[in-house]
């Protein structure tokens, strides 16, 4: 490895905080992670995952040679030319024999903006396939759909994290940042130190809930009823902001009528949250001049996730808490580049710049940048789970980058079967994940510290990750892979390997779109601590889609757009500038408990592992802290089973069975069990989860399904 001799400022490869860190040379020739106090999001603080992120760079735990599957079914090392030829040949055969849509592409929310952009372009220009989506569909697609419906634009947080300590009240719905993004917890601690209040909505008494002024513990799958019940009380107690509603919104009458059908006693019966707690939540939320609602996977990963988030947005709108200083609705994005990953083309229905694939003007703009006929671009394809479910049927070949659906997808055993049924599977990854182990060809690719590229954090802040060291011999970048495959498939130009060159094209493709990056450059990102989109370039006198005028390195120039840290202060991104209420009503989850499956399962994360665990499970310190899966259950349920702490218990759903040690706690509802989803094997939580999809966002219902729990006897 060749490394720089001084510290390199960069960002963590894990969650959407994208914490700032420095990489400094180590005595063994690698790098060490050190604090970087100048970055405003984490101000030097790092969780255990961030502190140990450099350990996955080691050749001891990562891939350093392409692997190809032999006739006897084993994966063996091979040269790059052979591996690339095999992939290109399989893709070409599938197109000739079955048509372009026989080629599937599956991306990841950890890919940089440059990779996500190039992957989407590769699918649509080189393969001509509509069958592309990514694992970010499993992250915040419901919040994105609800935000777009209400505001005309989706950005995880429409304000900086720094606004949170200065507001009066935060309702945190289905989020546990103390474990999922620990450096962010300081914002909620500072909120309370400043006299504000924190309300946490979660069926478990998590470490975050322990910090709250009020903890509401609804039955899983009833967040929609809870939000509607709170809005009912807001109306009944005369706490609506009628002037704001009249001046800045539409659709209030229908939304109010729907909410008034959810009276407090009914909501208590549905959710299990006592009426006095409902009234206290409304009082705390409405008392200060400013307040926020922040949602995460809890309410979003449901088959009614879009409507659930819409109901929480309705609560904000009815009280005048959106588009005003220190107030608003926001979504705490999970994956490192979950925001940017869907903005630039790897989502089934979107083109770069957050443009709709069905919009003729958007197709013309992007096609001109790409130098292709707009009519040659395929239409929208399947969403993530639907794509995975179709593998081996009309999708015969799959190119997968930066995802591990064998562990992370719902109904995971079925998804594993679908992957095995493919004619050909190619995986690009840094480690031999459970999904990569099924592939016909595995390509070892560079990691965060070995490449330069941009990401977009949960605030909509575009950031520059800098290369700090060279990758091991035998490892190439994802951009090089796509360049080589495109050339082998007959497209010699348009797929550069230099990330800055890709970003310059992304600027042009995004110009004028909802997520406009055209005023952002590498030079500018190198000098500033990120730039919030939308950030348009200065208007061009010709009005063409040629390259935007280069932005100066500093934002001090008078013609440089400063970026947009806070959205909606003047108007919303709808045609009339008004926010839209959503007339929604509670409905049951896709799968309710019954005599055979009387308990509810909900899933989530733990502090020392990340997503499917493909990388964090290779770090000794993290494994020591969180060595394996467990089943969290209430003492009353444990007593009925005759299970003691640490005893193996089986959780059984209509889709399969998982076994893990019991963890007994009064911090969970007696009718609910919890499992983290980071592990494969017999403790794989996603063996159990329900792929029932939200009709709008196509989000699977990870957060609630009916199960039974059984003691496992020797």
In this predicted structure, the answer to whether residue 419 has a pLDDT above a threshold of 50 is yes
Backbone angles phi, psi at 638, to 5 degrees: -60, -40
Rounded CA-CA distance 665/631 in Å is 10
82 burial via Cβ count (<10 Å: 0-12, 13-18, 19+):
exposed
From CA 247, how far away is CA 231, in angstroms rounded? 19
Task: Give the per-residue pLDDT at 708.
Answer: 98
Mean pLDDT to the nearest integer, 502-531: 97
pLDDT above 60 for 1: no
| Residue 134 binned pLDDT confidence (cut-offs 50, 70, 90) | very high
Q: pLDDT tens digit string along 330-353?
A: 999 888 898 998 899 999 999 999
- pLDDT tens digits along 360-412: 999 999 999 999 999 999 999 999 999 999 999 999 999 999 999 999 999 99
- 3-state secondary structure (DSSP) of residue 564: coil
- How is residue 547 annotated by DSSP? P
Question: Nearest 5 degrees, angle CA 669-CA 671-CA 676?
Answer: 70
pLDDT digits (tens, 9 = 90+) for 20-68: 999 998 888 789 999 999 999 999 999 999 999 999 999 889 999 999 9
Structure tokens at 61: 């735990």
The CATH architecture one would assign to domain 8-57 is Single Sheet (2.20)
- In the structure encoding, which two tokens stand for residue 526, read together? 């190198």
Q: What is the mean pLDDT of residues 601-615?
A: 96
Mean pLDDT of the 269-273 span: 98
- The topology (CATH level 3) of 68-138+338-447+477-500 is Rossmann fold (3.40.50)
Structural tokens at position 310: 């819409």
Q: Is the pLDDT of residue 246 over 50?
A: yes
Query: How far is it, in rounded angstroms, from Cα 45 to Cα 624?
Result: 21
- Copy the structure tokens of residue 297: 């996977």
Q: Which two tokens stand for residue 451?
A: 């490449």
Taking the domain 599-711, which CATH number applies?
A: 2.40.40.20
Segments making up each domain of the chain, as ranges: 8-57, 68-138+338-447+477-500, 157-332, 599-711
d(C-alpha 121, C-alpha 284), whole Å: 48
Q: How far is CA 636 from the centre of its chain?
A: 35
State both tokens at 126: 């080189």
| Residue 686 near residue 411 (C-beta atoms within 8 A) | yes
pLDDT value at position 546? 42
Q: Which helix (H) or strand (E) holds 216?
A: strand 214-216
CATH class for the region spanning 157-332: alpha beta
Using CA atoms of 695, 696, 697, 698 in order, give the dihedral in degrees to the nearest 10: 30
Question: Where does 452-569 have alpha helices with state H?
Answer: 478-488, 499-510, 522-527
pLDDT at residue 558 in the model: 62
Report yes or no: 142 and 515 within 8 Å, Cβ to Cβ. Answer: no
Please state, rounded to an integer, the average pLDDT across all residues of the chain.
95
How many C-beta atoms lie closer than 10 Å to residue 575's C-beta?
7
Given a cut of 90, is residue 561 above it in pLDDT? yes
């Amino acid at each position: 490895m060749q490394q720089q001799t001084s510290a390199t400022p960069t960002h963590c490869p894990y969650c959407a905080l994208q914490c700032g860190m420095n990489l400094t040379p180590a005595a063994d020739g690698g790098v060490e992670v050190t604090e970087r106090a100048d970055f405003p999001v984490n101000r030097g603080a790092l969780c255990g995952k961030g502190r140990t992120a450099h350990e996955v760079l080691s050749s001891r735990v990562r891939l350093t040679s392409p692997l190809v599957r032999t006739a006897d079914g084993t994966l063996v090392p091979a040269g790059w030319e052979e591996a690339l030829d095999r992939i290109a040949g399989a893709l070409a055969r599938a197109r000739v024999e079955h048509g372009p849509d026989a080629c599937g592409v599956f991306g990841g929310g950890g890919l940089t903006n440059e990779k996500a952009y190039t992957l989407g372009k590769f699918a649509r220009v080189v393969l001509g396939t509509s069958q592309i989506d990514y694992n970010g569909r499993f992250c915040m697609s419901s919040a994105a759909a609800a935000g777009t419906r209400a505001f005309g634009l989706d950005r995880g947080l429409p304000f900086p994290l720094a606004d949170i300590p200065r507001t009066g009240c935060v309702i945190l719905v289905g989020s546990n940042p103390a474990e999922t993004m620990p450096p962010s917890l300081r914002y909620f601690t500072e909120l309370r130190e400043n006299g504000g209040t924190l309300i946490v909505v979660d069926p478990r008494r998590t470490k975050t809930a322990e910090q709250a002024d009020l903890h509401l513990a609804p039955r899983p799958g009833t967040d929609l009823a809870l939000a509607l019940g709170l809005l009912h009380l807001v109306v009944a107690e005369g706490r609506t902001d009628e002037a704001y509603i009249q001046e800045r919104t539409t659709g209030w009458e229908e939304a109010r009528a729907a909410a008034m059908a959810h009276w407090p006693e009914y909501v208590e019966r549905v959710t299990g949250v006592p009426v006095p707690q409902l009234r206290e939540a409304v009082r705390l939320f409405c008392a200060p001049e400013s307040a926020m609602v922040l949602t995460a996977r809890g309410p979003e990963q449901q088959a009614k996730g879009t409507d659930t988030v819409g109901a929480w947005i309705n609560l904000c709108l009815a009280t005048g808490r959106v588009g005003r200083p220190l107030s608003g609705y926001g979504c705490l994005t999970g994956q490192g580049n979950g925001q940017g990953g869907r903005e630039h083309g790897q989502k089934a229905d979107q083109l770069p710049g957050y443009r709709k694939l069905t919009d003729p003007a958007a197709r013309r703009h992007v096609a001109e940048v790409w130098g292709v006929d707009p009519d040659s671009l395929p239409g929208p394809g399947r969403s993530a789970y639907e794509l995975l479910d179709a593998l081996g049927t009309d999708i015969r070949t799959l190119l997968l980058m930066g995802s591990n659906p064998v562990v992370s997808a719902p109904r995971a055993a079925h998804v594993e079967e679908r992957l095995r049924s493919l004619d050909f599977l190619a995986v690009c990854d840094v480690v031999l994940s459970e999904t990569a182990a099924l592939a016909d060809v595995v390509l070892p690719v560079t990691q965060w510290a070995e490449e330069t590229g941009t990401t977009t954090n949960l605030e909509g802040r575009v950031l520059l990750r800098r290369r700090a060291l060279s990758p091991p011999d035998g490892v190439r970048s994802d951009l090089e892979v796509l360049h080589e495959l495109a050339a082998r498939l007959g497209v010699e130009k348009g797929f550069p390997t230099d990330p800055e060159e890709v970003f310059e094209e992304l600027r042009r493709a995004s110009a004028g779109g909802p997520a406009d990056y055209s005023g952002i450059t590498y030079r500018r990102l190198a000098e500033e601590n990120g730039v919030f989109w939308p950030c348009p370039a200065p208007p061009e006198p010709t009005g063409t889609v040629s390259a935007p005028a280069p932005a100066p390195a500093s934002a001090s120039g008078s013609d440089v757009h400063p970026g947009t840290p806070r959205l909606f202060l003047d108007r919303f991104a709808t045609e009339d500038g008004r926010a839209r209420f959503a007339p929604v009503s509670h409905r049951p989850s896709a799968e309710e408990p019954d005599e055979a499956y009387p308990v509810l399962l909900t899933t989530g994360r733990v502090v020392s592992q990340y997503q499917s665990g493909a990388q964090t499970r290779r770090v000794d310190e993290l494994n020591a802290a969180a060595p394996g899966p467990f089943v969290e259950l209430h003492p009353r349920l444990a007593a009925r089973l005759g299970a003691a702490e640490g005893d193996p218990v089986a959780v059984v759903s209509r889709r399969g069975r998982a076994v893990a040690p019991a963890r007994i706690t009064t911090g969970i509802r007696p009718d609910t069990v919890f499992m983290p989803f980071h592990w494969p094997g017999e403790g794989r939580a996603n063996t159990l989860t329900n792929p029932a999809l939200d009709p709008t966002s196509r989000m699977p219902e990870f957060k609630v399904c009916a199960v039974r729990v059984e003691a496992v006897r020797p």
